Amino acid sequence: MGLFSIGRWKLRHLVLSWAGYWIALGVIALGPAIAAARHAAGLPDNTSDISLGFNNTVFNIVVREYGNVTYAAAPSIGAITFWLVVPPLLLWLFWVSRSRRQERPAELGQGSPPETATRRKEGAEVRRGTG
């Protein structure tokens, strides 16, 4: 298992992966709109227009410079919700399934039974085959 094996993650790793995902999603989704809006805002007066609207569950974002549309987007609430919720939820489900497998190695035929591991931790020797 490697360093980034999801089976070895703790809760903090999962939460950090969600935060990283949401930051990357924000940069990818909003980066071009912010760049276009900043450029338009720096132009002389009455030469650019930035509009943001919401109608029938759809956001409308339009940036115009000198009468030409330089950026336009119309994401729906459903699409926004999907990209914000579904990938982290799938990652969580995968993490839960992998974590449960790591907690029960004896049931899956891997490692030592839990009782043997507990006795070894307490410092007692475990001898097999003596009678």
The tens digit of pLDDT for each residue in 66-98 reads: 999 999 999 999 999 999 999 999 999 999 988
Q: Number of helices (H) and strands (E) in the chain: give both, helices first.
A: 3, 3
Where exactly are the structural domains of the chain? Answer: 6-119
Closest CA to 51 of 43, 61, 41, 42: 61
Tell me the backbone φ, ψ of residue 52, rounded to 5 degrees: -135, 125
Kindly give, in sequence order, each residue whose CB lies less than 8 Å from that of residue 61, ignoring residues fewer than 6 positions away.
33, 51, 52, 71, 72, 73, 74
Instruction: Tell me the pLDDT tens digit for each residue of 15-38.
Output: 999 999 999 999 999 999 999 999
pLDDT band at 103 (very low <50, low <70, confident <90, very high): low
Structural contact between residues 40 and 65, judged by C-beta atoms closer than 8 angstroms = yes
Residue 101 has what DSSP assignment? H
Using CA atoms, how far apart are residues 18 and 28, in angstroms rounded to an integer? 15
Identify the DSSP state of 50: E
